[in-house]
Structure 1
Amino acid sequence: MVIWLNGTFGAGKTTTAGELVALLPEARIFDSEQVGSMLRHVLDSVPVDDFQQWPPWRGLVVETIGQLLDYLGGTLVVPQTVLVERYWTEIRDGLAAAGIPVHHVLLHADDAALVHRIETDTKPESAGAGQWRLDRLAAYREALPWLRREAEVVDTTRLPPDRVARTVAGRVG
């Protein structure tokens, strides 16, 4: 199965994913951004603001998940923000067509918590990305109506990551 951890920057996707794989036997993290990185050198002549705009990214994410689960079995935890409903529908439907159950979980935090987390993030991969991430909060707010419809919401505002992971694990069985 797939546990897709959605949410904006600062919601706790990466940290929760790490905690979650420690709780679930045979669970692994699949970083679908690596698919975007792989495509970047091939599709650099097709300018986009986000690699998710490339149709091959969405198709390859579905195909890669299927291949990995066929090979490894178990559970893949995918910590990936998807804010465009059409993109999510394409991924969800592709996984369903492959017979792969998906638990779509929205990790949500209030604006004050998100801003604080983004502004105080000290992870090396976050260096210099603070303003870019803050600028994406408006798109997240716009996507909230469909996200709440499509995903199970876990409020991370006041929960430590280990409790968020236990909550998610309890909900997906």
Structure 2
Amino acid sequence: MLIWINGPFGGGKTAAAFELHRRLAGSVVSDPEHLGFGLNRMMPPALRGDFQDLPAWRRGVREVLDLASRGHDGPVIVPMTLVDSGYFADIVGGLRGSGHVVHHFALMAEPITVLRRLHNRGFWPGLKRERWAVGRIDDCLTRLSSPAFATHIATDHLTVAQVADTIARSAGLLLTPNVDGPVRAHLRRYATTLRHLRAD
């Protein structure tokens, strides 16, 4: 089983993915961004752009997830913003066409909620380093609202644990109980953010 967690940049995909992973025995997280950043690093700076536009990225993601899902006896969790309907059909549709069960979830929120989350991520609060993500909020939310990107989960008033619970229920998965209090939950989210900061 593949669980694709989609959403705008700063929408909580990574936090939800690792909360699921923490509470779902036998699961793994497979992040397609790693392949994209690797492909960009292979090219001269002047040629680097949105790695999703590279056919090699889309083909590679599909092939790696096919291998991971067939070779791993447990759910494969994929946190990745993917809002181009053609690219979505290429990757997610291709995986489904190959016989994989892909549960897709789009984490939705009001733009002000996404802005607040972007403001608070990283070592220092602020949006200076998030200009690219901020500029994509409206486009991402508009595209993801299409029925093609269902299942939609409104996350404005949900904690990360509640988002994970919602995904698990929809996918028919049983999570271990969440026993984190507010302080531990905050520290866990912060630690996840720090582990996934990039210098790219």
TM-score (norm 2): 0.78
* Superposed displacement of residue 72, structure 1: 1.7
User: Partner residue of 1:81?
Assistant: 81
What is the percentage of aligned positions where both structures have the same residue? 30
Q: Give the drift of 1:151.
A: 1.7
Q: CA deviation at 1:152?
A: 0.4
2:23 corresponds in structure 1 to 23
- CA contact 2:29–2:77 (8 Å) conserved in 1: yes
Distance 1:87 1:46 in 2: 24
Measured on the aligned residues, the alpha-carbon RMSD in Å equals 2.1
Q: Secondary structure in 1 aligned to 2:156?
A: coil
Match of 1:171 in 2: 170
Amino acid at match of 1:11: G
Is this contact kept in 1: 2:8–2:141, CA < 8 A?
A: no
Contact 1:3 1:102 in 2 (8 A): yes
| Equivalent position of 1:150 in the other structure | 149
Q: How far is the alpha carbon of 1:11 from its aligned partner? A: 1.4
Q: Does the 8 Å contact 1:3/1:103 carry over to 2?
A: yes
Contact kept? 1:13, 1:79, Cα under 8 Å: yes
Q: 1:44 to 1:172 in 2, by over 3 A?
A: farther
Give the Cα separation in 1 of the matches to 2:49 and 2:93: 24
Question: Which is higher, the Rg of structure 1 or of structure 2?
Answer: 2
Of the two structures, which has the highest relative contact order with CA contacts closer than 8 Å and spacing of 6 or more? Answer: 1
Shift of 1:80: 0.2
Structure 2: which 5+ runs fail to align? 173-200
Q: For this pair of structures, how many residues does the alignment match?
A: 171
Structure 1 residue ranges without an equivalent (≥5): none
> How big is the shift at 1:23?
2.4
Deviation string, structure 1 residues 79-138 (Cα, Å, up to 9, x no partner): 0000111000101222023211101100011111111111121258x9953212101113
